[in-house]
Amino acid sequence: MTYNKKDFLEIVEKRNSNQPEFLQAVEEVLEDIIPFINENKKYQNKALLERMVEPERVISFRVPWLNDNWQIQVNRGFRIEFNSAIGPYKGGLRFHPSVNESILKFLWFEQVFKNALTTLPMWGWKGGSDFDPKWKSDNEIMKFCQSFMIELYRHIWPNTDVPAGDIGVWAREIGYLFWQYKRIRNEFTGILTWKGLEFGGSLIRPEATGYGLVYFVEEVLKNILNDNFIDKKVLISGSWNVAQFAAEKVIELGWKVLTMSDSSWTIYDKCWINKEKLEFIKELKNNKRWRIKEYIKEYKDAIFVENKKPWDIKEYIKNINIDIALPCATQNEIIDKDAKKLVKSGVKIIAEGANMPSTPEAINIYKKENIIYVPWKASNAGWVAVSGLEMTQNSLKYSWTKEKVDEKLKTIMKDIYKQCQIYGKNKEWKIDFVKGANIAWFVKVADAMLAQGIV
């Protein structure tokens, strides 16, 4: 029996109604996976896709906590454990008011790709809460994390399920969660990654996604464009961890960063964002109330515009062609009109640092215009790679140097590129990175599931 995409999607939609983010992620994957299954008898009549879109378990729980005004607050916690065929569950915890089952299932689905592509033995899950840490005191965040872990600890274990950080869950939150777990279990284990260096964390964890993104772009330039690497002009959206460290690595390579942004403002700097300017942006980040427009007070030659995106650069800096665009802000930040602006800017490579930042309409424009497009599931796998390396270091009771971790990260990103190359070549011998990433993860996971029977 072969699959029909439309029929299969209808089944998924019925079982997951009102979950648009998850359905978007599934639909994108089916575009490549269904033809591959239909061409390979090994994967037919095994209900692999039916099993892959269903998590092993979905856990929802109440999180009561006491704020600084002695008022009881109640949030909802989630844990979605997808499939343990290739290793223990591994993925981030997100604390944000937008968190719901659809968002987490979308994030969990993309986590599956990243974990499988890293070649490390770990599988995908996501968890979190609709708790908003913004404007909360340290005491309130600690109380919430302690209450959250009182339920979460029942479902996690070093060889079963290892959480990491995500949006709203940084070093502070991981510290509070880790201590509560240790207090409940009365043991010191590597149950969480993104820990502080003082208690088992890994070096270059904050840098991992941004660095890994640029390492992937280096492979594209070297292997596809046979480029000299000189004087590349780069657009970056966002200004937090991923964007900052992508910019840091870009500057280190001698390329030129022209833009960074936040949710309301974009800065365009025709004199480039150099190391000194980037350090200023990093310092701004330490102030919870900062906005990217503060940059203009220090560097007056730059332009800042409200409600504009980096992709609008041609409106503000004329006579310049862009080589690389790195969307590092948020999902669906590039819609069709933005993609058209990127085409006009002359961009050759679009590599994604955020999770699913391009809409399907934008991706269709990239393909039509023959722009090299590297999807998030391949290019922003750096953080989960280093999380996996942190797990290895914890199990060895040993910490690697920054150089050692960076070397291993670069090797993992090269391996991801190679997998995309193997499975993504088309009849013209060009590489479709979306197809390559989708089929590479599918083959790895499907083979493990087939070897283990009905899992």
Q: State the catalytic residues.
A: 126
User: Which tokens hold the place of 52?
Assistant: 């892959």
Tell me 260's DSSP state: E
**b/e 341-376 (16+ beta carbons within 10 angstroms → b):** bbbebebbbbbbbbbbbbbeebbebbeeeebbbbbb
What φ, ψ does residue 451 adopt, rounded to 5°?
-65, -25
Contacts of 451 (CB under 8 A, 6+ apart): none
CA distances for 275 relative to 129, 156, 197, 243, 347, angstroms: 36, 41, 25, 14, 23
Residue from 329, 261, 259, 247 nearest 293 by CA: 261
3-state secondary structure of 435: helix
**261, 310 Cβ separation under 8 angstroms:** yes
E-state strands within 116-156: 123-129
User: Which tokens hold the place of 213?
Assistant: 């993104």
Residue 42: burial class (beta carbons within 10 Å; 0-12, 13-18, 19+): exposed
Beta partners for 76? 62
Q: Residues for the chain: how many in total?
A: 455
**b/e 166-181 (16+ beta carbons within 10 angstroms → b):** bbbbeeebbbbbbebb
